[in-house]
């Protein structure tokens, strides 16, 4: 299976949507390399960065679902790294 390495940048403006966002990230957890969240209290928002290694259509689907959550915006930045997952249990071989 061919995968891409990317980052999702997420801005949460409505904290009542955090539960739905976390459910989506959990649903795609097998592809997530890591995530970092920063509360920006001065502006009342949360900034989340998610590193992901997944097929491009999976990344696009996750970003699309996140974009439908009220008060949440996301953008994707793809790297040029394409990896192969010959066996999902072994992880990527870049």
Phi, psi of 88 (to 5 degrees): -55, -30
Question: Regarding the domain delimited by 2-81, which CATH topology (the fold level of the hierarchy) does it fall under?
Answer: Alpha-Beta Plaits (3.30.70)
12 bridge partner residues? 46, 72
> In 3D, which of 63, 72, 62, 77 has the Cα closest to residue 27?
62
Record the pTM. Answer: 0.84
> Residue 92: is its pLDDT beyond 70?
no
Helix (H, G, I), strand (E, B) or coil at 39: strand
Let me know: does 62 contact 7? Beta carbons within 8 Å. no
pLDDT tens digits, 32-74: 999 999 999 999 999 999 999 999 999 999 999 999 999 999 9
Which position has the token pair 């990317």? 6
Q: How far apart are CA 22 and CA 25, in angstroms?
A: 5
**Extents of the domains making up the chain:** 2-81
């Amino acid at each position: 299976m061919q995968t891409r390495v990317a980052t999702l940048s997420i801005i949460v403006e409505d904290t009542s949507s955090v539960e739905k966002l976390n459910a989506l990230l959990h649903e795609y957890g097998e592809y997530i390399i890591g995530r970092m969240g920063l509360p920006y209290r001065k502006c009342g928002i949360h900034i989340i960065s998610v590193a992901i290694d997944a097929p491009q259509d999976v990344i696009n689907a996750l970003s699309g679902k996140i974009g439908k959550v009220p008060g949440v915006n996301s953008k994707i930045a793809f790297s040029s790294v394409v990896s192969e997952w010959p066996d999902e249990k072994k992880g990527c071989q870049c």
